[in-house]
Structure 1
Amino acid sequence: MDDDREPRWTTIGRSVAYEGRVRLVEHTVLLPDGSRTSFDVDESVPFSVAVLVVDGADVLLSRQYRYAIDRWIYDLPGGGGLADEDPLHAAQRELEEELGIVPDDLRHLHTFFMNPGRAAWPTHLFISTAGFAWTRPDASDPAEQVRLARMPLAELDALIAQGLVVDPPLMVARAIAAVKGHLPPLRRV
């Protein structure tokens, strides 16, 4: 719960520390005790989106190489939102670009912060359960090699239980979809 009576930090200055594909901003802040400090915040995108696509007893995932951890992983199709874009349209755009899927329905599932200790942007999760049409994915970014992975929900649950799924939005979406009744509870392995 957010309590306005709890002390907060006050921003007294900001400067861009680094800007490339990632944007880090150094904040100068006044702490509740009156002292000053600096704090780096990731302000790379206004928000990110990810979509859980359910097709009968299967889920449709992305399979991508992630350089930062030097592995291929399962994750949800998604990415950063644009400044002039709302999260729903960003989710539709990313789903079509990455997997070539145009959903018949796309509903907001949950919003969370991936790294609230250092990143300012929320991740908006969406779910599609009522069918879709296929189109051609956008393969124009050579650094983004996305493969479609169709997987039975039971297999996804087993991979999560074995610690083989490392993507936070995928794990959060699976759990929230179960809590909200869109998917059965996680299976015990």
Structure 2
Amino acid sequence: MSQEETKWGTVDRLLVHEGRVMLFDHTVTLPNGSPTHYEVDESIRFAAATLAISGDHVLVTRQYRYPIDRWIFDLPAGGAEDDEEPIDTARRELEEEAGIVAANLVPLHTFFLNPGRTSWPVHIFFSSESTTRGTAARDDPAEQVSTVWLRVKELDSLIAKGEIVDPALIIARTMAASRGLMPSLKSLVL
């Protein structure tokens, strides 16, 4: 294994901020032996999101995202609670944010949102079977969520125009197409 492929050694890990985000300062040793510090967002164990479709429509949520100061479309999603498994988090978030109880959830893809700064994966699930509508239950006043059923063509157009900025939604759409669960992405033209 070359020096470029050698892992860093962790010497110490210290919580430096705890709020909506939990930041840890890691003291590490680089492959050349030099010590350095690296801050890592370890806020949650993982997040889970669901791409739900019904016919030629995709369920998305519309939320204000303060860090980028704009309203965006994204997927019903959130972080793990307690000892939840990813599928349980996806099911809970879909019901809390959209009032939807999915008849099925199929693992679609797992990715890391920002592997240079966060340690947690995002698990994406897919649901196409009939769903029932419950009542959305939101406990966090900072979550102002509405749900929208977009036509697949409309979603694809928004992606092509750069108006969809949520990586989980873009990745979910791409992976669903690559597995034949949704139409191909050939329509992604302006």
TM-score band, normalised by the shorter chain? over 0.9
The sequence identity of aligned pairs, in percent, is: 51
Q: Per-residue CA shift, 1:29-60, capped at 9, x if unaligned?
A: 01110110000000000000110001100001
User: How far 1:67 sits from its partner (Å)?
Assistant: 1.1
Distance 2:141 2:44 in 1: 21
Deviations 1:93-132 (A, max 9, x none): 0000000000000111000000000100000000001110
Q: Which amino acid aligns with 1:188?
A: L
Corresponding residue for residue 97 of structure 1: 96
Q: Is the 8 A contact 1:46 1:83 kept in 2?
A: no
- Structure 2 gaps, min length 5: none
1:185 aligns with 2:174: no
* Count of aligned positions: 186
1:142 Cα offset (Å): 1.4
Cα distance in structure 2, aligned partners of 1:156 and 1:124: 21
Q: Is the 8 A contact 2:46 2:120 kept in 1?
A: yes
Shift in Å at residue 140 of structure 1?
2.5
What RMSD, in angstroms, separates the aligned Cα atoms of the two structures? 1.2
CA contact (8 A) 1:28 1:37 kept: yes
Structure 1 segments, 4+ long, off by >6 Å, are none
In the alignment, is the contact (CA less than 8 A) between 2:159 and 2:188 conserved in 1?
no
Residue 17 (structure 1) shift: 1.1
Matches within 5 A, 1:128-143: 128-143=127-142
Residues of 2 paired with 1:141 and 1:133: CA distance?
23
Uncovered stretches (5+) of structure 1, i.e. residues with no partner? none
The aligned counterpart of 1:41 is: 40
Question: What TM-score do you get using the length of structure 1 for normalisation?
Answer: 0.96
The TM-score normalised by the length of structure 2 is 0.95
Say whether 1:166 aligns with 2:165: yes
Matched position secondary structure for 2:5: coil
SS in 1 for 2:11: strand
The residue number in structure 2 matching 1:62 is 61
